[in-house]
Amino acid sequence: MKMKILAFTLVIGAVLLFSCQRNESGQTTYISTFSESASVSPGTITSGFALVVNTGFYVLSGNDAGDEKTKTKWSAQVPLGEKLTLGNTRRMTLESDNKVYEFTEVRRQNGNEGYILTWQVAEGERLAVVVDEKTNLFRSPKTVDVSGVILTRRSVVIYYPETEDNGFVEVRGYDIGRREYVNPNNSFVRLSSLSRRDSDIQAAIHLQTALSLTAANQSVRREALLETALFDYPDSVFYNEIFEIANPNTSGVIINDTAVEMEE
């Protein structure tokens, strides 16, 4: 009887082993194994956001060589402010210019997996938007450590509530005026310079995206984005400037208690 039980156990084990091997051989090397890949350990998977309008989304263009010679190619655009699951960073070659860049592994909200240039994303759970015209960057949460750098109004950033100290908070993001990523060594701002309201954040995202559409054949999409910003987020602090951009020939109208000058 014991021999029969042992034989049955061995058969079941062999079947399970064969099944596992068959499943593993059918997986793609990266796309289907994001959370189990050797290059993405559970301890490195975090949440973050795309911080640039039309952030580039890349996929492997061939076999993964395991080093910076591995090539990637552009696949799609990721909207500013989209929440992402982030994995490890690695250096790879961009096929279009044959140069090496640092990429971060990501999973998008639609489930697609690939890579984004590391400087275009940041880890964090909370978005904010710069609302003051003169938002100074500080090297530490102290007024004496003010730098000569101004963070441009309407820049969408990630802020870290746990770093709040003396009315300051640390941020990460892309400065839309200077077109530079916020330097981690000069990344504190006054919390009062930021808005954490969803209507302000979304209005800024729609406005930035609309302003990036300058080609004639993109005018319909541009107008749609501006209209959405106006009608869906009427309480936004950016409402007046969005209205003026959307209606450049407006004359003698009161917009949110602000008079628009008459045009000849």
Indicate which CATH number applies to the domain containing 86.
2.30.30
Same domain membership, residue 118 and residue 77: yes
Residue with more model confidence, 183 or 264? 183
Both tokens assigned to 120: 């275009």
| Residue owning tokens 């799609």 | 76
Identify whether 34 is part of a domain. no
Identify whether 64 is part of a domain. yes
Amino acid present at 205: I
Instruction: Report whether 152 contacts 177 (CB < 8 A).
Output: yes
Q: With H, G, I as helix, E, B as strand and everything else as coil, classify residue 15.
A: helix
Domain that holds residue 75: 39-123
Same domain membership, residue 86 and residue 70: yes
Select from 79, 100, 123 the last residue of a domain: 123
Select from 174, 195, 216 the last residue of a domain: 195
Total structural domains in the chain? 3
Same domain membership, residue 103 and residue 45: yes
The whole-angstrom separation of Cα 202 and Cα 82 is: 11
pLDDT higher than threshold 90 for residue 16? no
Identify whether 214 is part of a domain. yes
pLDDT of residue 251: 53
Which range of 8-22, 95-109, 247-261 scores highest in mean pLDDT? It is 95-109
The residues pairing with 29 across neighbouring beta strands, listed in sequence order, are: none
pLDDT of residue 249: 78
Q: Of 5-9, 84-88, 199-203, which gets the smallest average pLDDT?
A: 5-9
Residue with more model confidence, 151 or 5? 151
Same domain membership, residue 229 and residue 210: yes
Q: pTM of the predicted model, to two decimals?
A: 0.78
Same domain membership, residue 184 and residue 150: yes
Sign of the Cα torsion 82, 176, 133, 186 reads positive
Same domain membership, residue 111 and residue 133: no
| Residue owning tokens 């194994």 | 33
Q: Of 10-24, 26-40, 49-63, 72-86, which gets the smallest average pLDDT?
A: 26-40
Instruction: Report whether 199 contacts 233 (CB < 8 A).
Output: yes
| Residue owning tokens 């090539």 | 71
Same domain membership, residue 48 and residue 102: yes
Q: DSSP readout, 138-204?
A: ESSSSGGGEEEEEEPTT-EEEEEEEEEETTEEEEEEEETTTTEEPPTTS-EEEGGGEE--HHHHHHH
For 62-98, letters b (16+ CB in 10 Å) and e give eeeeeeeebbbeeeeebebbbebbbbeebebbbeeee
Identify whether 4 is part of a domain. no
- For residue 57, CA distances in Å to 53, 77, 150 come to 12, 6, 29
Identify whether 248 is part of a domain. yes
Identify whether 231 is part of a domain. yes
Same domain membership, residue 45 and residue 116: yes
Same domain membership, residue 108 and residue 50: yes
Identify whether 224 is part of a domain. yes
CA 172 remoteness from chain centre: 11
- For residue 18, CA distances in Å to 8, 21, 27 come to 16, 5, 15
- Encode pLDDT of 19-45 as tens digits: 333 333 333 222 222 332 323 333 457
Averaged pLDDT of the chain: 83
Select from 178, 195, 212 the last residue of a domain: 195
Same domain membership, residue 110 and residue 182: no
Identify whether 33 is part of a domain. no
The whole-angstrom separation of Cα 193 and Cα 130 is: 6
